[in-house]
Chain A
């Protein structure tokens, strides 16, 4: 037993001492503080990346060159992608993991609390470095967030070095964050919280953390090769020295494909928590959800080259990657089926978290279907690098991952802040978002199928009308998010209706056993879990 001064274990809430002032946030080891920091950072980055998206859409409102020059346009597409992937979506999920996983499994904190704070504080530095690269002579990275060689080697500006090192340290941050999550789940579960009793959000993050630890080092390797190719005259991606630019794509997508599942698996966990709560029925097919998640993660290592069908791979390789990709539709279909079956004959109500979760199920499925279209090799030859691809991955990332994050925020804000999100504003936010996101991304399918290439600042005249509509949708969607900001600020300012410990009637899980707002320290002594909680 330890010699900790605190001897009154039974009164967990009594020593609810929080440090005050700025030091609380700088030196914290508390999973809730660090979770809040992650979430706020991600929110900031969401608006930064969103502003860049609006620059892109403003330029594309009409054909011809309007507002920005092409080189700056390319910087905007690049930084928008990098910021949204590494700065908005991934930190948001890590923030949710920090806040919720210890409370969901009955742990006092994350397993490695100090390393947790280190993981977070690396991120602001990484993004300062990344953004500062735009001030370099010749501008910032302009090669797309996928930084294909030779665009990022032979044809890039000096800012590439800043980009590479920023990626390096944010990779370190992600790996440490993932190690923390995986160790917390393996080692900190309360007695009786067996693996197959864990909430699905914990399960999906468990698998996500494994993917992160497996692929972020590969990203570190590939940016290192970009660095040496550009500055130290190596030839990894240069055929003149025996290398191959296609090698870059293999390495990048070996990271990149699991990466897209890193950005969606935690969403599955969130939706699997919210739909049963508002359908007032246990989740249909818990075990199959777990196995489906694991199957998706396993397959994600075997499909990377479906991003590369047009590089001239041997036919056998194309076929292999096509079939493997299509196979992913099976476990994903299991999940969609389970969510729908959970709702079947449930007593459904439509509070804001449920609205976003429902929109997730429908719109993510649309993104999944366009994914199957893209998986068909010969058809992909037509779709490759067009707006169809842009439409596809924004359906799964914006109306998928981002909607699930918003659903999670509305679902757990009462627990975080102690106040209910303003329902009127939240519903307004939902309807504005769900309508505008479809005005924004659905027409992109059509211009894409008609052959409009992505990542160019100008386009042929026949695409003008649809692009104007898309840009209008983009601005509507962007400004709708200010409503979300208002709801969050209202909760943080402790305005509105106070929340009870369990504000959602049908919600299940240990996090609803503690008061709202959650005390600074929860489950110092682990609770005993007797029966499955879902």
Chain B
């Protein structure tokens, strides 16, 4: 089995590249700038944080464009091999696994607070006196619409999110059709289904934004309104960021398809974007079940 895993042809090792260092500088600027921006914002003082953050984002964009341009050129020069394609695919799979674990931390926080922390604050298990002494009026319910110290909010319904679920699931299906089109050389179908997927993704994102406005304006559901709002906003917020990233990837893929890139044999970037999109879809389904419905 392992002799099939390896092959004799030469593995392409690029000589040297400026982009990794630029990428490290970008992440350094982003981290330093974001931290100072948050400190300055919370102290309501003027500062340089946002400029450093902005510079970091610009440098990151330059790095991404330059690095991917190099990769695309190398790919078109035929420097890559099947073995290298496997490296990229395995690398992407492990990256998605790391993303799964990132979401697991927030789902873990949700399950722990729902199943353990909130009931215990209400006196469950052997904590009768905790409730009695600290917050006698507190009632352990979920969604937690009244926090132990009395902050109130309304719970988010699941009507709009249900439509959003349908949209995102549909987009996964349309993306599958696009991929099918690529595999069978049907470029027209590929462009059409890919464009439709991007549109569906953008509709999803705008509905999410509408939902956030609704939560803040009508429901009083904010970042400050206790653990229900916290888990709601961090889970849906990080998911939204991932959908945004996935949509950006698909948009880039769309323009590359227009330029005639990708075919049945050479399509790693497209495939990786597809995997990523399916991944954010699966995360959403879990979110819909555990954050909105149950």
Question: A interface vs B, CB < 8 Å?
Answer: 1-4, 6, 9, 19, 23-24, 26-30, 107-109, 111-118, 120-122, 124-126, 128-129, 132, 136, 158, 161-162, 164-166, 168-169, 172, 175, 178-180, 182-183, 186-195, 213-218, 220-222, 224-225, 227-228, 231-236, 239-244, 246-247, 250-251, 254, 314, 521, 524-526
A114-B91 contact given A165-B35, A189-B2, CB 8 Å threshold: no
Interface pair B15/A29, CB less than 8 Å apart: yes
Let me know if B289 is at the binding interface, CB within 8 A.
no
Q: In the assembled complex, which residues on chain B have CB atoms less than 8 Å from the CB atom of A192?
A: 2-3
10 contacts between A and B (CB under 8 A): A113-B13, A115-B91, A117-B20, A125-B25, A129-B31, A166-B35, A214-B98, A218-B104, A227-B38, A247-B109
- Main secondary structure on chain B at its contact with chain A? helix
Q: In the assembled complex, which residues on chain A have CB atoms less than 8 Å from the CB atom of B39?
A: 136, 158, 161-162
0/1 interface trace, chain B 7-24, chain A, CB 8 Å (1 if under):
111111111111111011
Interface pair A4/B223, CB less than 8 Å apart: no
Q: Which of B18, B32, B134, B225 has the most CB of A within 10 A?
A: B32
> Could you say which of B1, B31, B234 contacts A169, with CB atoms under 8 Å apart?
B31
- Restricting to B89-127, which residues have a CB under 8 Å from any CB of A? 90-91, 94-95, 97-99, 101-102, 104-106, 108-109, 112-113, 116-118, 120-121, 125-126
Interface pair A161/B36, CB less than 8 Å apart: yes
Q: In the assembled complex, which residues on chain A have CB atoms less than 8 Å from the CB atom of B120?
A: 244
Tally of chain B residues near chain A (CB < 8 A): 84
- Restricting to B195-252, which residues have a CB under 8 Å from any CB of A? 223-230, 234
Interface pair B79/A3, CB less than 8 Å apart: yes
Closest 8 CB pairs of A and B: A221-B105, A125-B28, A121-B24, A242-B227, A217-B102, A118-B20, A165-B31, A244-B117
Interface pair A195/B2, CB less than 8 Å apart: yes
Interface pair B43/A158, CB less than 8 Å apart: yes
With contacts defined as CB atoms under 8 Å apart, how many contacts are there between chain A and chain B in the complex? 270
| Chain B residue at minimal CB-CB distance from A315 | B126
Interface pair B9/A1, CB less than 8 Å apart: yes
Let me know if B87 is at the binding interface, CB within 8 A.
yes
Q: In the assembled complex, which residues on chain B have CB atoms less than 8 Å from the CB atom of A251?
A: 105, 108-109
A218-B105 contact given A9-B10, A179-B94, CB 8 Å threshold: yes
Let me know if B77 is at the binding interface, CB within 8 A.
yes
Q: Which of B38, B98, B102 has the most CB of A within 10 A?
A: B98
Interface pair B12/A122, CB less than 8 Å apart: no
Interface pair B87/A228, CB less than 8 Å apart: no
Interface pair A188/B6, CB less than 8 Å apart: yes
Query: How distant is the Cα of A191 from the Cα of B39 in the complex, in angstroms?
Result: 54
Q: In the assembled complex, which residues on chain A have CB atoms less than 8 Å from the CB atom of B18?
A: 26-27
Interface pair B94/A213, CB less than 8 Å apart: yes
Let me know if B154 is at the binding interface, CB within 8 A.
no
Q: In the assembled complex, which residues on chain A have CB atoms less than 8 Å from the CB atom of B134?
A: 239
Q: In the assembled complex, which residues on chain A have CB atoms less than 8 Å from the CB atom of B224?
A: 232-234
Q: Which one of B145-153, B184-192, B265-273 contacts A?
A: B145-153
Interface pair A235/B226, CB less than 8 Å apart: yes
Interface pair B3/A236, CB less than 8 Å apart: no
Query: How distant is the Cα of A254 from the Cα of B42 in the complex, in angstroms?
Result: 30
Q: In the assembled complex, which residues on chain B have CB atoms less than 8 Å from the CB atom of A194?
A: 1-2
- Restricting to B120-168, which residues have a CB under 8 Å from any CB of A? 120-121, 125-126, 134, 144, 147-149, 151
A122-B102 contact given A162-B35, A183-B90, CB 8 Å threshold: no
Interface pair B31/A243, CB less than 8 Å apart: no
Distance to closest chain B CB from A389 (angstroms)? 25
Interface pair A218/B102, CB less than 8 Å apart: yes
Interface pair A250/B21, CB less than 8 Å apart: no
Let me know if B86 is at the binding interface, CB within 8 A.
yes
| Chain A residue at minimal CB-CB distance from B78 | A3
| Chain A residue at minimal CB-CB distance from B222 | A233
Q: Which of B15, B35, B147, B224 has the most CB of A within 10 A?
A: B35
Q: In the assembled complex, which residues on chain A have CB atoms less than 8 Å from the CB atom of B83?
A: 187-188
Let me know if B170 is at the binding interface, CB within 8 A.
no
| Chain A residue at minimal CB-CB distance from B85 | A187
Q: In the assembled complex, which residues on chain A have CB atoms less than 8 Å from the CB atom of B95?
A: 175, 179
Interface pair B19/A235, CB less than 8 Å apart: no
Interface pair A231/B38, CB less than 8 Å apart: yes
A26-B21 contact given A161-B38, A228-B230, CB 8 Å threshold: yes
Distance to closest chain A CB from B250 (angstroms)? 22
Q: In the assembled complex, which residues on chain B have CB atoms less than 8 Å from the CB atom of A254?
A: 105, 108
Interface pair A121/B21, CB less than 8 Å apart: yes
Query: How distant is the Cα of A502 from the Cα of B67 in the complex, in angstroms?
Result: 39
Query: How distant is the Cα of A166 from the Cα of B174 in the complex, in angstroms?
Result: 39
Query: How distant is the Cα of A111 from the Cα of B94 in the complex, in angstroms?
Result: 13
Q: In the assembled complex, which residues on chain B have CB atoms less than 8 Å from the CB atom of A3?
A: 77-79
Taking A121-B23, A180-B91, A251-B105 as known contacts, 4 extra A-B pairs with beta carbons closer than 8 A to each other, sorted by chain A number, are A108-B13, A175-B95, A236-B230, A525-B10
Query: How distant is the Cα of A235 from the Cα of B117 in the complex, in angstroms?
Result: 12
Distance to closest chain B CB from A194 (angstroms)? 5
> Could you say which of B16, B42, B225, B228 contacts A23, with CB atoms under 8 Å apart?
B16
Distance to closest chain B CB from A231 (angstroms)? 5
A232-B113 contact given A2-B12, A242-B148, CB 8 Å threshold: no
Interface pair B42/A243, CB less than 8 Å apart: no
Q: In the assembled complex, which residues on chain B have CB atoms less than 8 Å from the CB atom of A234?
A: 223-224, 229-230, 234
A118-B24 contact given A166-B31, A235-B226, CB 8 Å threshold: yes
Let me know if B54 is at the binding interface, CB within 8 A.
no
Interface pair B87/A187, CB less than 8 Å apart: yes
Interface pair B17/A117, CB less than 8 Å apart: yes
Interface pair B32/A129, CB less than 8 Å apart: yes
Q: In the assembled complex, which residues on chain B have CB atoms less than 8 Å from the CB atom of A218?
A: 101-102, 104-105, 108
Distance to closest chain A CB from B276 (angstroms)? 15
Query: How distant is the Cα of A26 from the Cα of B21 in the complex, in angstroms?
Result: 7
